[in-house]
Amino acid sequence: MFWHDDISLMDKKIKKIGVLTSGGDGPGMNAAIRSVVRCALSQGFLVDGVMRGYRGLIEDEVISLNHRSVANIINRGGTILKTARSEEFKTLEGQKTAVERIKRHAIDALVVIGGDGSYRGALALYQKFGVPTIGLPGTIDNDLHGTDQTIGCHTAVNTALESIDKIRDTANSMERIFIIEVMGNQSGYIAMEVALGAGAEDVLIPERSFDYDALCQHILEGGRKGKISWIIVVAEGAAKAPEVAATIHRKTGLEARFVVLGHVQRGGAPVGADRILATRLGAVAVDLLAKGCYGKAVGVLQDKIHIVDLSEAGTRKNPHVKEYYRLIKILT
């Protein structure tokens, strides 16, 4: 059934669950770890934490976790297990080493908290090696199939909004154009949400082509009607804020400042929605493993727990682009 039948863990009774965080960190990952650990312990499982995602797995960074290991972390940003990206794990050799580590530590199943790349890794462990895995959506990008929300997306949007509100105060007072770059390489989710939530005048996202001439025309027309300040939100994957500011200046003669919000969007205490989501999903991950249900990704659709095969849980497009963009334009 598997590429490496000899090392399949599928038929073994689960005694110990491993948990790791992988890819970009996001607020709420700690709440998910806590939930997995305490729910697993309450069902009589042992729990190991793998440090630094798949890289730590290959490098054998495995620690034992107990009830106290996850005390006072539900409100903390980042991840106590650290996170990393690993090119080596994408190779068959790297994956074989990872499976050898899993077996060495007598880990019978693995909960992977991360984004679509981390899900692909969990799927590889499951499909190629028969390692029972469950994926939890830990990414600020909210771009995974099978869930309306990902752990961290609410906090990241709120953090960016707080910064933009402050920038708007100065933009208004100084009568300036501000270009604000937010995170989102492939996904305009954060940009769209904060543009709508901050009352921005325009938004540039990777999912939608844009035209500098039209943007500058719009700014000049606004100026003629007495519009004194502009907030333009840019997702990092659509354009770079310094370049957008320079182009607007060149084409309009108006001064345009830029701010790159960067990693502040990943940090900070998770808001309630992320803590609650993480806690609910962590519990379901353990329930699935206890029932012998593997190779799944857990999410929520319309606030109800929703479970899909890991193979179906890849990247999804933002369903709100058209609706939000129309509103942003009407409300400018």
- 236 touching ligand ATP, by CB under 6 A: no
**Nearer to ligand ATP (CB atom), residue 156 or residue 248:** 156
Q: Measured at the alpha carbon of residue 260, what is the angle toward residues 259 and 266, in degrees to the nearest 5?
A: 135
- Write the binding mask 90 to 129 for ligand ATP: x where contact by CB under 6 A, - elsewhere: x-----------------------xxxxx-xx--x-----
Q: Which residues of 13-32 are buried (b: 16+ CB within 10 A; e: fewer)?
A: ebebbbbbbbbbbbbbbbbb
Please say if 141 is a catalytic residue.
yes
Q: Which of residues 11-70 bind ligand ATP (CB under 6 A)?
A: 22-24, 54
Options 108, 141, 181, 207; binder of ligand ATP; rule CB under 6 A:
141
Distance CA 329, CA 331 (A): 6
Which among 33-41, 85-93, 233-241, 257-265 is the span making contact with ligand ATP, rule CB under 6 A? 85-93
- Minimum CB distance to ligand ATP, residue 119 (Å): 7
Please name the residue that has the structure tokens 């849980």. Answer: 313
**Nearer to ligand ATP (CB atom), residue 114 or residue 282:** 114
Of 38, 44, 43, 107, the residue nearest 66 (C-alpha): 38
Distance CA 192, CA 200 (A): 10
Residue 259 contacts residue 180 (beta carbons within 8 Å): yes
- 86 touching ligand ATP, by CB under 6 A: yes
Of 190, 239, 207, 255, the residue nearest 27 (C-alpha): 190
Distance CA 4, CA 126 (A): 11
Residue of 116, 141, 143, 274 with catalytic role: 141
Tokens of 61: 């960074």
Shortest-Cβ-distance residue relative to ligand ATP: 117
- 139 touching ligand ATP, by CB under 6 A: yes
- Write the binding mask 151 to 170 for ligand ATP: x where contact by CB under 6 A, - elsewhere: --------------------
